[in-house]
Structure 1
Amino acid sequence: MFGKLKVGVIVVVLLVGTLGGAVALGAVGTPSVSGVENRFGGVNETSTVIESDLHVSNPNPLGVALGGLSADYAVSMNGVEMAHGVKSGVDIDRGNSTLPFSTTMDNERIPAWWVSHIRNGESTTLTVDASVHSSLLDYSFGAPKVERTVETDLISAFNSTETRPVNADAPVVSDPVLYVNETSAQWGEVNESVTPIDMDFTMYNPKAFPVPVSEIGYTITMNDVTVGNGTSAQGYVIPAGGQRTVETRTLVENERLDEWWVTHLERNQRTDLEIDFYAKVRVTGETIRIPLDEMTYTETIETDMFGTKVEATGQTNVTSESNESASTPEPTVTTTSTDGGSDSTTPTATPTDTASATPTPESGETTTEDDGLLALGR
């Protein structure tokens, strides 16, 4: 009995050694991963499921299944590992096979990615690495690396030279109380906790008396999730018949971004971004809180992170199958921006204008198709 067992072990060892040697010599076809397809699965307040299909080709002429396989998969964004998983006990038959598996991303990784994204000039390199290892052949074969560029442009549309009125709608003063002749925004220095946006408002006072602005307040929402709110740190006085630049800093609270991420996926990768402002001004001895409706900044963002998003019609927008000789199709991203401004023909209110002669612009909406927020490219 012992002799038969010993002979059996020797046969298995010789078989494995022969297969491994055959692979090394090219006598047995080498398995390979021809492509990988990724998509988002379920999402909840703590985690996001990433579902993947590895397309594997096994040209083994022996007509036997390769067992004892393990698949390893990782997704990173700007070097920040978002998800990593291993699936063991995988079998593939001769020919082409698809290996489905899933990994779980911790949503708490979203703020760390966001910080890297802003620091990198609103650009992210999304990388997907996948490989399969055969314990039988003692051989690993990997999928061609998937690498996509994620670029955003969140605040440039706030830069405007369009004149907009500030109306108090209060009996103590006639409207408009002020005009905003120009707005601009740029990123401050982001850290792990907050993302600052430095915003400037050039305000013109058409009145014959100075108008103090005690504060500018703001609220930032993404899909109705409040990701930042606050007020300016100092007050300003807009001189009679003159203008002055009011500086304010808005802060995105990074810890709230994982909550936004859930809504983005729940809405099929769609986000409605909105920044609302108000001002407190003092006229005729009374402080008035004025909503700055004409300066409300909104933007609608739609993304297709892996290029496999299914639209409402049930059709897949783009198919992403990675290989080194084929290019990744560009997804279609539509961005709608509204900053409450008017068209480009509106004249600017200046200190030389009188209150009665200062034009009142009409607000408009501009729709553009461009790289947009989180648009993907090669």
Structure 2
Amino acid sequence: MNLKVIILGVFLILIIWIGYVAYAAMTAEPHVEAKWGNVNEKTTEIIIDASLRHPLLVPASINELSINFTGVKVAWVKEFNYGATKSDMSLSLLIDNYNLVKALINYLNNGQNGEINVILKGKVLGIIPVNKEIKETISENVLGYLNFTAESREYLNGLFQTPALLGTKVDWAGERNGKALLIAHMRFYNPNNYPLPVANTSFDIYANGIKIGYGSTEKAVVIPAKGYATINVDTYIYENALPKVWALHVQNGEKSTVRAEIFLNLKLLGKEYNVKIASYEETIQTNIMEELNRMLNDMLKG
């Protein structure tokens, strides 16, 4: 057989293949859907399914797809199902819940600043390397959401009025004995005509029925009559409890119940009173998967 004919035939096949790939890519109209996979205390799985109108006929593989946050590897590809002759593909992303907590601690240690680094390494046609790295800096005041308040109320049939909690400012103070340490600066107003000596301020925090933290003061404070005082409360968060709370949050349809109980130990008229000034119970609903799907579809629309 003439060598020129063979070369011409191969060249024509290549042109037809490139034309088909271009056609398939332009008319693919992909449908992408992300959903929660298996979720437990250790890991969270996110499954991304995609369907095309036509197979692309382009062999491709992923050697590495990982996500690092504040220098900690928090997620990676568990499985990538793709075939050049198939119109459906899926990707399974695994998140290490404990590493995610470590990354968050680093984020707080760095003044609530951190960098997300996405690394992609793979091959197209089995020989063409693909190396992509995306970096994004995040700076969000997550501690600003922790603002507790409480109104004043009568206690013991009007014996006295409890101080009003006007607001709470929370600062990061590092780690201590395997627990995250926050300083809650609680601003109180005393509506009584006499000062209120506060021997101790304490509170407990629960999420999905799990105690995740507690707080207490180290010294007594006197709130003057018709006056104000700021009480600093050392607040400890159990880091090891957070992955389980997160798993329950996802398993409950991205819904969590958070409860906080705040107590004041008051010394009044020679007696001590342990007064609960506030008891919060709030349902927190997130839409992480909904937002992820929205982002994926926006990316496809260009």
Same fold (TM over 0.5): yes
Larger relative contact order, structure 1 or 2 (CA cutoff 8 Å, min sep 6): 1
Q: Distance in 2 between matches of 1:58 and 1:138?
A: 23
Provide the C-alpha distance between the structure 2 equivalents of 1:98 and 1:128, rounded to a whole number of angstroms: 24
> What is the CA distance between 1:265 and its match in structure 2?
0.6
Is it true that 1:104 corresponds to 2:91 in the alignment?
no
TM-score by length of 2: 0.72
Asked whether the 8 Å contact 1:126–1:147 carries over to 2, the reply is yes
Displacement, 1:277? 0.3
| Change in CA separation of 1:53 and 1:123 when aligned onto 2, cut-off 3 Å | farther
User: Counterpart in 1 of 2:287?
Assistant: 304
**Aligned partner (choices 149, 156, 167) of residue 169 of structure 1:** 156
| CA deviation after TM superposition for structure 1 residue 215, in Å | 0.4
- Per mean C-alpha deviation after superposition, the further-off stretch among 68-77 and 108-117 is 68-77
Structure with the larger strand share = 2
The answer on 1:47 being equivalent to 2:46 is no
Contact 1:73 1:86 in 2 (8 A): no
Residue 127 of structure 2 corresponds to 138
TM-score by length of 1: 0.59
Q: Distance in 1 between matches of 2:111 and 2:36?
A: 26
**SS of residue in 2 equivalent to 1:45:** coil
Cα distance in 2 between the residues matched to 1:103 and 1:114: 19
Whether 2:164 is the aligned partner of 1:188: answer no
> Alpha-carbon deviations, 1:311-355, whole Å to 9, x = none?
xxxxxx8472364872xxxxxxxxxxxxxxxxxxxxxxxxxxxxx
Say whether the 8 Å CA contact 1:40–1:50 is kept in structure 2. yes
After superposition, give the CA deviation of every residue in 1:160-180 in whole Å (9 maximum; x if it has no partner): 6x8x2254327xx7132x432
Contact 2:107–2:114 under 8 Å retained in 1:
yes
| TM superposition shift of 1:278 | 0.4
The alignment yields a C-alpha RMSD, in angstroms, of: 4.5
**1:320 is the counterpart of 2:299:** no
| Aligned match for 2:76, one of 58, 63, 84 | 84
Matches of 1:282 and 1:86 in 2, distance apart?
Answer: 59
Report the CA distance shift for 1:158/1:323 in structure 2 as closer, same or farther (over 3 A): closer
User: Which AA in structure 2 matches 1:183?
Assistant: G
List aligned pairs for 1:1-378, cutoff 5 A.
29=21, 37-53=33-49, 69-70=61-62, 72-85=64-77, 87=79, 90-93=82-85, 97-119=87-109, 132-134=122-124, 137-140=126-129, 153=142, 155-156=144-145, 158=147, 164-169=151-156, 174-176=159-161, 178-180=162-164, 182-191=166-175, 193-204=179-190, 206-208=192-194, 210-240=195-225, 242-293=227-278, 296-297=279-280, 299-307=282-290, 318=294, 320-321=296-297, 323=299, 326=302
Structure 1 unpaired stretches of 5+: 1-14, 310-316, 327-378
Relative to structure 1, is the Cα distance of residues 73 and 175 closer, same or farther in structure 2, using a 3 angstrom cutoff? same
Secondary structure of the residue that 2:160 maps to in structure 1?
coil
* Structure 1 Cα separation of the partners of residues 120 and 191 of structure 2: 61
Secondary structure of 1:219's aligned partner:
strand
